Structure 1
């Protein structure tokens, strides 16, 4: 067991996790600015981006890079600096470090080495998108970015589709259309809110069913960072979703996955096999004979 008193006036040997604005510079807190001024060094995901932030607020604290590709070696160096009595602020390009951004490993290493870790409150895109969506916020599941590979992405959506919690996803503008189509195929026509460019000049929310947002995306040039907020399932709808295919023939069931999820006949047959709990050869024969 480890116990930490965060306000015992320690000024050395401490890691400060400092959220930075996700778009609007006015969202930084006084405490964050004070911390960035007083620490020995700032570990930044991209020193070029953080340098602009520091320059705007006239902060001259030294910067050191800390990102996905150097986190192991740089993490060891930062622990050595803590051992020498230095204090460290860790920041990402935007928002809370450690949330779909570097930071977790350094926090874990500092805790394991018995150094204090102090987390400051601040900007976070997922929570802004959740509250602005109008969807239930009493229980929610933050996932972050879905896998890029199609099969892995489908597998994750299948795993998540029974969750009754509101689902939060981050997504690239280049993959939003594909993700919306996959949501329709795997989760059904649920209520969804798409939030883009949060806190910035072009902040926008688009709320509606998955089908409505698919239609919207076809005629819209998608730019900026996106957060998707997706309605959770209910116990009744979860049971219905399990047997949504009951009125379909095997041929129609296979064709549905080929059309809606853009699967090959081989992959669609595998999916039908799982849905119906049938032997693969039986689905294969039924599909090709009836076809």
Structure 2
């Protein structure tokens, strides 16, 4: 900073050549949903160029970066620390550093943490770029063979049995194809409830999409429940079912 002497006092003089600190950009980067090769060239370029990568779980994030020979600092942003991690992201951006946000699989924010961060970025007016990538929701929808003209993504249904059945009863009236996600340890309960609410509705269950051992199961909910009522599930699942016949 330049100084000038004015009437015996030292006063600041604005340096007209000084440049404001350029803020960094947050890149929301889609990553593979299973097969590590399902990542775009643009996503790889962004991950290599960013100063730091925020991931959902260190183990999963490190595995992805290692698979593509990317050496970048990793920090966590998950459902347990999203508020605190958001402040760290903002601090990096204000320092002019680019930050990448990834999830364990697929697009961040969709059934994953990150929405709070996105809202803060928009409120602060900071640069934000979404780098699209794989989605288990769309992959399953395309593979289902059901109508894709219109569809409803209903996410994860309630853990509470009574509330989950009420949600299924409402979804049974949908005319659009419905897409649900579920965890391995609640999938049997979901199939049981769906079979009770709409036994003859045609459905598709996608298991471990894009992996060598992916499996695909079609049938009515009654048939799927009968097939899997004694099964133990592992992995990732997407459930699609047809809209109500008109």
Normalised by the length of structure 2, the TM-score is 0.87
Match of 2:80 in 1: 69
| 2:19 aligned with 1:20 | no
| 2:205 aligned with 1:212 | no
Match of 2:91 in 1: 80
| 2:203 aligned with 1:192 | yes
**C-alpha distance in structure 2 between counterparts of 1:165 and 1:188, whole Å:** 17
| 2:62 aligned with 1:51 | yes
**C-alpha distance in structure 2 between counterparts of 1:116 and 1:168, whole Å:** 32
Count of aligned pairs: 225
Contact 2:32 2:38 in 1 (8 A): yes
Partner of 1:192: helix, strand, or coil? strand
Match of 2:167 in 1: 156
Partner of 1:81: helix, strand, or coil? helix
**C-alpha distance in structure 2 between counterparts of 1:111 and 1:221, whole Å:** 43
Normalised by the length of structure 1, the TM-score is 0.74
Please state which structure has a larger fraction of its residues in strand: 2
**C-alpha distance in structure 2 between counterparts of 1:88 and 1:111, whole Å:** 15
| 2:151 aligned with 1:113 | no
Match of 1:229 in 2: 240
> Please, which runs of 5 or more residues in structure 1 have no aligned partner?
1-10, 237-291
Partner of 1:138: helix, strand, or coil? coil
Q: How far 1:81 moved relative to its partner?
A: 1.6
Q: How far 1:219 moved relative to its partner?
A: 5.2
Q: How far 1:188 moved relative to its partner?
A: 4.0
**C-alpha distance in structure 1 between counterparts of 2:202 and 2:131, whole Å:** 33
Contact 1:37 1:60 in 2 (8 A): yes
Match of 2:115 in 1: 104
Decide which moves more: 28-37 or 177-186.
177-186
**C-alpha distance in structure 2 between counterparts of 1:173 and 1:78, whole Å:** 32
Q: How far 1:173 moved relative to its partner?
A: 2.1
Deviations 1:30-59 (A, max 9, x none): 111110010111111111211111111111
> Please, which runs of 5 or more residues in structure 2 have no aligned partner?
1-21
Contact 1:47 1:63 in 2 (8 A): yes
Q: How far 1:78 moved relative to its partner?
A: 1.1
Deviations 1:227-266 (A, max 9, x none): 10011114x4xxxxxxxxxxxxxxxxxxxxxxxxxxxxxx
**C-alpha distance in structure 2 between counterparts of 1:166 and 1:221, whole Å:** 27
Please state which structure has a larger fraction of its residues in helix: 1
Match of 1:201 in 2: 212
Contact 2:23 2:126 in 1 (8 A): no
Q: How far 1:208 moved relative to its partner?
A: 1.1
Q: Give the number of the structure with larger relative contact order, counting CA–CA contacts within 8 Å between residues 6 or more apart.
A: 2
